[in-house]
Structure 1
Amino acid sequence: MNAPAIPGLEPAFRVEARLGAMEDHGTTRAGHRRVVPIVGGTVTGLFDAEILPGGADWQVVRPDGAIEIDTRYSARTAEGAYVYLTTFGVRSGSPEVLAALLRGDPVDAAEYYFRLGVRLETSAPELAELEHTIFVASALRDADRIRYTAYRVT
Structure 2
Amino acid sequence: MPMDHLAHKHLVTLTLDVDFRSMLVIGPTPGGHRRIAPVTGGHFSGERLNGTVLPGADWVINRSDGVMVIDVRLALRTDDSALIYLSYQGRFLAPAEAMSRFSKGELLEPEEYSLAIVAKFECGEDRYAWLNNVVAVGTGEQTATGPVYSLFEIG
TM-score by length of 1: 0.90
Q: What are the ranges of 5 or more consecutive residues in structure 1 without an aligned counterpart?
A: none
Q: How far apart in 1 are the matches of 2:4 and 2:82?
A: 33
Q: Report the equivalent of 1:47.
A: 49
Deviation track 1:14-68 (CA, whole Å, cap 9, x = no partner) reads: 0001001222211123321011110000010021111012x11101111011011
Q: How far apart in 2 are the matches of 1:86 and 1:36?
A: 14
State the identity as a percent. Answer: 26
Q: How far apart in 2 are the matches of 1:106 and 1:5?
A: 35
Q: Report the equivalent of 1:125.
A: 126
Q: Secondary structure at the match of 1:105?
A: coil
Q: How far apart in 2 are the matches of 1:93 and 1:19?
A: 20
Q: Once superposed, what is the RMSD of the aligned Cα atoms?
A: 1.7
> Does 1:14 pair with 2:35?
no
Which aligned pairs between 1:4-153 and structure 2 lie closer than 5 A? 6-21=5-20, 22-45=23-46, 46-53=48-55, 55-153=56-154
Deviation track 1:98-152 (CA, whole Å, cap 9, x = no partner) reads: 2332333332211111100011111111111111110000111222211000011
Q: How far apart in 2 are the matches of 1:70 and 1:106?
A: 20
Q: Which moved more, 1:75-84 or 1:23-32?
A: 23-32
Q: How far apart in 2 are the matches of 1:40 and 1:104?
A: 20
Q: How far apart in 2 are the matches of 1:29 and 1:136?
A: 28
Contact kept? 2:31, 2:63, Cα under 8 Å: no
Q: Secondary structure at the match of 1:99?
A: helix
